[in-house]
């Protein structure tokens, strides 16, 4: 079995040498990877695809070319630059991690998976990926793409998430003593470009002849997944409050919880649409947005501007500046609905 796994690793690396993707954060052959670029890209790529991340990565790198520059940036600017990438806790942790590395580690990232795991916002997958790609530590980096490749290659029919530990153990056993970073990136490329969820192009796969799922004719059915529970529907109110001079009232959400630290049109709790904070009247406009664990419908209400700010988390923003505010996607939809047109298309970073 050890020899078979070594053969699989060798075939994968040979394929990678011929077909590797050219990505802006990826070092060229025989070049050392930049840990800052690797870390930044891996955080951005969580729950997001390469096409979406590319312009954000380029904008961040141009604005903050190294970790100390990012650490010195106000968090508000980082959140604004992140707006549109989603999963905003990543942006808060990104900034916190940059500050930690800059101030406590003199701008130098830890060189081991264990050391990386101590940093804010870095979990097992990200730590393994950075350790392998940036420092060639023999570590597995197991994301959704890798889970799909391994469950198919070894015909693992136990459903996710129960099979995750077995997938990680197999992947770790495949990582070669040398070129661990190339192996990690090869697995990512194989999963994203060849061993796709639907219609995998097995003819181009370096593991075609040894793939057990291909032999059994069950490749597209793997990985198995437990049936997900129904996504609950929640309702809330978002208030469009505009002064005579055109300034719009915004509120910063608490750092804790969903969309923490992001800006919003003031809204009720999303579990109880009857919570009426500002009075006013229902415009009849509705905005829907699906999060990971629930589906949200927001009613857009108009209300008169308060005589003074309701609290320290509120501020007035000019209409023309709304496109550059740190508004999450659901609030961009709400603002666009209130304005009657989609004027909030954020410029590409």
**Catalytic positions, please?**
42
Residues 6 or more apart whose CB falls under 8 angstroms from that of 90 comprise 43, 44, 46, 82, 121
Backbone dihedral region of 287: left (phi > 0), alpha (psi from -120 to 50 degrees) or beta?
beta
Rg (CA), the chain: 23
Rounded CA separation 19/16 (Å): 5
Cα–Cα distance for residue pair 242/249, rounded to 1 Å: 6
Locate tokens 């291909």: which residue?
214
Task: Count the neighbouring beta carbons within 10 Å of the beta carbon of residue 134.
Answer: 22
CA 64 to chain centre: 19
Does an H or E element contain 188, and which?
helix 180-193
Tokens 């919003």 correspond to: 264
Rounded distance between C-alpha atoms, residue 319 and residue 6, angstroms: 60
Let me know if 180 is exposed, middle or buried by CB neighbors in 10 A (0-12, 13-18, 19+): buried
Q: Which of 91, 144, 130, 131 is nearest to 327 (CA)?
A: 91
Residue whose tokens read 């905003």: 88
């Amino acid at each position: 079995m050890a020899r078979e796994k070594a053969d699989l690793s060798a075939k994968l690396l040979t394929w990678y040498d011929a077909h590797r993707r050219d990505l802006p954060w990826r070092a060229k052959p025989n070049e050392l990877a930049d840990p800052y670029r690797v870390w930044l890209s891996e955080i951005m790529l969580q729950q997001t695809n390469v096409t979406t991340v590319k312009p954000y990565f380029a904008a961040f790198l141009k604005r903050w070319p190294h970790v100390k520059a990012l650490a010195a940036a106000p968090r508000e600017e980082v959140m604004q630059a992140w707006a549109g990438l989603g999963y905003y806790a990543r942006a808060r942790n990104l900034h916190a991690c940059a500050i930690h590395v800059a101030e406590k580690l003199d701008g130098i990232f830890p060189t081991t998976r264990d050391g990386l795991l101590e940093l804010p916002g870095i979990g097992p997958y990200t730590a393994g990926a950075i350790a392998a790609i940036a420092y060639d530590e023999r570590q597995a980096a197991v994301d959704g793409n890798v889970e799909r490749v391994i469950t198919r290659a070894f015909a693992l029919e136990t459903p996710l998430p129960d099979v995750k530990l077995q997938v990680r153990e197999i992947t770790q056993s495949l990582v070669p003593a040398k070129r661990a970073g190339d192996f990690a990136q090869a697995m990512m490329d194989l999963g994203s470009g060849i061993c796709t969820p639907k219609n995998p192009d097995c003819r181009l796969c370096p593991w075609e002849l040894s793939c057990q799922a291909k032999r059994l004719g069950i490749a597209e059915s793997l990985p198995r997944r437990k049936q997900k529970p129904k996504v609950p529907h929640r309702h809330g109110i978002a208030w469009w409050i505009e002064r005579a001079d055109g300034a719009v009232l915004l509120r910063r959400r608490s750092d804790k919880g969903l969309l923490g630290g992001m800006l919003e049109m003031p809204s009720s709790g999303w579990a109880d649409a009857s919570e009426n904070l500002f009075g006013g009247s229902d415009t009849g406009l509705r905005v829907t947005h699906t999060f990971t664990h629930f589906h949200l419908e927001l009613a857009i209400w108009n209300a008169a501007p308060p005589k003074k700010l309701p609290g320290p988390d509120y501020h007035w923003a000019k209409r023309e500046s709304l496109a550059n505010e740190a508004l999450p996607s659901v609030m961009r939809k709400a603002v666009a609905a209130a304005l009657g047109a989609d004027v909030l298309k954020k410029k590409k970073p």
